[in-house]
Homo-oligomer: A and B are copies of this chain.
Amino acid sequence: MNFKAFVYVTLKQGYSDPEGETTSDALKGLGYNVSSVRSSKAYEVIFEAADRKKATSLVDEMCRRLLTNPTKDDYRVEISEL
């Protein structure tokens, strides 16, 4: 079975996010009433797995091994079947 996983990687609370801050300032400068912007990375991964449970654990493993840095990143995953 083929699955599509969206993985969103954000910096943990407490880590400064200069890109987000700059974007926030720029939006304020354009006149928008913005109070904060956090920037993050996202990956759309198409992969094969035996079933949904296996797919969830595979993606979790990919995140820990390659896609995120567990020391400084938080991540969340959305999985759908193709």
Contacts and interface: CB of A to CB of B under 8 A. Distances in A.
A42 B42 contact: yes
A45 to B, nearest CB: 5
A80 interface: no
Bin chain A's interface residue count.
20 to 34
A12 interface: no
A69 interface: no
A18 interface: no
Contacts of A27: 45, 47, 62, 66
Contacts of A26: 66
B20 A33 contact: no
A24 to B, nearest CB: 8
